[in-house]
Structure 1
Amino acid sequence: MHLRPVQFVDTPIGHADGSVARIAGGLQWFAAYEVIEGRTRRTIPVADVAKLGDRATHLHAVITAPRAALQLGERTLRFDQPVVAGILNVTPDSFSDGGKHVEDPAAAAAAGIDMAAAGATLIDVGGESTRPGAAAVWEGDEIARLVPVVERLARAGAIVSVDTRKAAVMEATLAAGAHIVNDVAALLWDDRALDVVAKSGCPVVLMHSPDPKKGGHGDGGYANVLTDVFDWLETRIAAVVAGGVERSRIMVDPGIGFGKTLAENLALLNSLAIFHGLGCPIMLGASRKRLIGALSNEAPVDQRLAGSLALALKGAEAGVQILRVHDVAETVQAVKIWRGLRDQSLIGG
């Protein structure tokens, strides 16, 4: 059984006690669940969830429980409203901004600081492209690209996450001041990665892909992409917790664009709220991705801002806590407007 929050409401004011619930301690309230059991789907009021048994009761408790804030040195990362993570690539070949900051760590760090000044809560730094067909990068080169940038950003007071699959890179960048590991392979690509994260105590983002060992862009072969991705992440969270990582320090990412067709990506985006049932903050990385071009007359990467904003707001509406984007200032402004509208609606205005 899986539960997806549906029938979102503007405010709990005027609703009977127990007839609406709050998603993960955030700004969104909902009145019903879509109950997914195999190929069957039905909708029930929130008030009736206990009638479905222990699994549903557990999922409801997890979906509605507030997500604990993370204390990262002197900085606090809160999850009670959507925040923006700025993408900073120091690669020659990333699909959107590859080559922009290669071999110039000072300029790269300055770009990250500009993102923070524009409202990014954290900066996600990557030294290896994960686009389809990208060549693997030797860990020594990846470390050389990342460490000088991470050191500068950390000294400037930014929360830094490092987008890497490699244990040695995790070790080097955490030692340089990074706070979070963001692994597109969910700690499966490198056999030492789980141990590194567990021993460091750092938070980690686990992203879904159908074949992490081979780069994550294979054929998913999904029976139902929504529940298959949920189940995969649920199993992976359990394994990572068993490996010594505190559950409260795990975030999840459904992996938009990784081993999914256009239809599968859209199904995930339309049902993002189901992933609150994992009990972890959700990161959404859909910025400038191929699906935007596919839906907008093959718009090139540098002309996908409007589509990226639409997807970011779709995530905010579903209660996603972290929006990973290239266009920080524009997304921050969009989220501020969305937040203003939510604040007004929550008081019944």
Structure 2
Amino acid sequence: MGVVNVTPDSFSDGGRWFDTTAAVKHGLALVDEGADLVDVGGESTRPGATRVDEAEELRRVVPVVRGLAAEGVTISVDTMRASVAEQALAAGAALVNDVSGGLADPRMIPVVADAGAPFVVMHWRGFLQGGNVRGVYSDVVTEVVDELRARVEAVVAGGIAADRVVVDPGLGFSKDARHDLELLAHLDRLLGLGRPLLVAASRKRFLGRVLAGPEAAPPPARERDAATAAVSALAAHAGAWAVRVHEVRATADAVRVAHAVAETRAASAGDGAEGAR
């Protein structure tokens, strides 16, 4: 899943693709580099970001979705607003990626259910404005799994088909670096929810902390792509359905290698079983 941020204030690449033409061109470039789908968002969700108003989010997102859909690109729309999801789906988006899991807008679940679209449910504990992080956990893996399970049950009860629900642990959302690493170390627990798993680690703060070590300043977001590719390969090996990334080529290569190793291991195991017979 390649990322197209149609925003001036994204933590990673804000402003680079703010123009509709540039955003569409970038989305097509991500597909050329190996993206299977492109995630278009018009509102930054970085800590402290101010919410954009509805009209502006629609102005940013819908033309880009329409332009990419016209080129045959499979698109997810990254939004917490039902109105944006509804218009993006009408413009050609195939999937809704809501970082609030339908909690920010009570109309979201009915809109997605009526459209029959797949829906990404991310682990979310509220907006990250004004220090509202709420990142206190006794056991982050257990709590995230339990809260995601409850949210999946809620969206299914709201009419979204169970086989169209994707889960996302929400790395970096109300979580510090240790929490993010714990979740990545236990993706099997998240896969135990029985839903496709989206891992969105690209360029996030915890990677900067890992790269810097305990004393140094973290490198800028755009210098974390090699680390992102490493996480992507680990997630693919663990069984993730997709990884959401800003720089696609390195991650696509890393995932391809991870799959090749897994296939070779499976073939070797099959050959061993055949020999035993």
Q: TM-score, normalised by structure 2?
A: 0.92
Displacement of 1:211: 2.3
Partners in 1 of 2:155 and 2:128 — Cα distance?
A: 16
**Deviations for 1:176-222, whole angstroms, at most 9, x for unmatched residues?**
11110000000000111111111111110000022259699612322
Matching residue within 39, 53, 65 for 1:124: 39
Partners in 2 of 1:266 and 1:334 — Cα distance?
A: 19
Partners in 2 of 1:283 and 1:239 — Cα distance?
A: 19
Matching residue within 9, 14, 22 for 1:98: 14
Alpha-carbon spacing, 1:337–1:213, altered in 2? closer, same or farther (3 Å): closer
The 8 Å contact of residues 209 and 217 in structure 1, kept in 2 or not, is answered as no
Matching residue within 214, 217, 224 for 1:304: 224
Query: What one-letter code is carried by the residue in structure 1 that aligns with 2:91?
Result: A
The 8 Å contact of residues 188 and 213 in structure 1, kept in 2 or not, is answered as no
Displacement of 1:340: 1.8
The 8 Å contact of residues 269 and 315 in structure 1, kept in 2 or not, is answered as yes
1:227 aligns to 2:139 (yes or no): no
The 8 Å contact of residues 74 and 93 in structure 2, kept in 1 or not, is answered as yes
1:323 paired residue number: 243
The 8 Å contact of residues 186 and 212 in structure 1, kept in 2 or not, is answered as no
Q: Which has the higher strand share?
A: 1
Partners in 1 of 2:60 and 2:194 — Cα distance?
A: 34
The 8 Å contact of residues 48 and 131 in structure 2, kept in 1 or not, is answered as no
Partners in 2 of 1:242 and 1:286 — Cα distance?
A: 29
Identity of aligned residues (%): 45
1:341 paired residue number: 261
Partners in 1 of 2:137 and 2:130 — Cα distance?
A: 18
SS in 2 for 1:134: coil
Partners in 1 of 2:22 and 2:71 — Cα distance?
A: 14
**Deviations for 1:257-316, whole angstroms, at most 9, x for unmatched residues?**
000121111110100111111111000000100011111121111111111111111211
Which shifted more, 307-316 or 214-223?
Answer: 214-223
Matching residue within 60, 64, 84 for 1:169: 84
1:135 paired residue number: 50
SS in 2 for 1:109: helix
Matching residue within 158, 165, 180 for 1:265: 180
Q: Which is greater in Rg?
A: 1
The 8 Å contact of residues 128 and 174 in structure 2, kept in 1 or not, is answered as no
Displacement of 1:145: 0.4
Q: Which has the higher contact order (CA 8 A, sep 6+)?
A: 1
Aligned length: 264
**Deviations for 1:87-131, whole angstroms, at most 9, x for unmatched residues?**
1101000000100011x2122111101111111000001100000
Alpha-carbon spacing, 1:217–1:97, altered in 2? closer, same or farther (3 Å): farther
Partners in 1 of 2:12 and 2:191 — Cα distance?
A: 29
Partners in 1 of 2:51 and 2:227 — Cα distance?
A: 29
1:86 aligns to 2:2 (yes or no): yes
Matching residue within 201, 214, 218 for 1:286: 201
**Deviations for 1:4-62, whole angstroms, at most 9, x for unmatched residues?**
xxxxxxxxxxxxxxxxxxxxxxxxxxxxxxxxxxxxxxxxxxxxxxxxxxxxxxxxxxx
Partners in 2 of 1:216 and 1:250 — Cα distance?
A: 30
Q: TM-score, normalised by structure 1?
A: 0.73
2:274 paired residue number: none
Alpha-carbon spacing, 1:181–1:244, altered in 2? closer, same or farther (3 Å): same
1:111 paired residue number: 26
Alpha-carbon spacing, 1:216–1:199, altered in 2? closer, same or farther (3 Å): farther
SS in 1 for 2:244: strand
Partners in 1 of 2:128 and 2:207 — Cα distance?
A: 27
Query: What one-letter code is carried by the residue in structure 2 that aligns with 1:95?
Result: F
SS in 2 for 1:206: strand
* Mapping 1:60-71, distance limit 5 Å: none
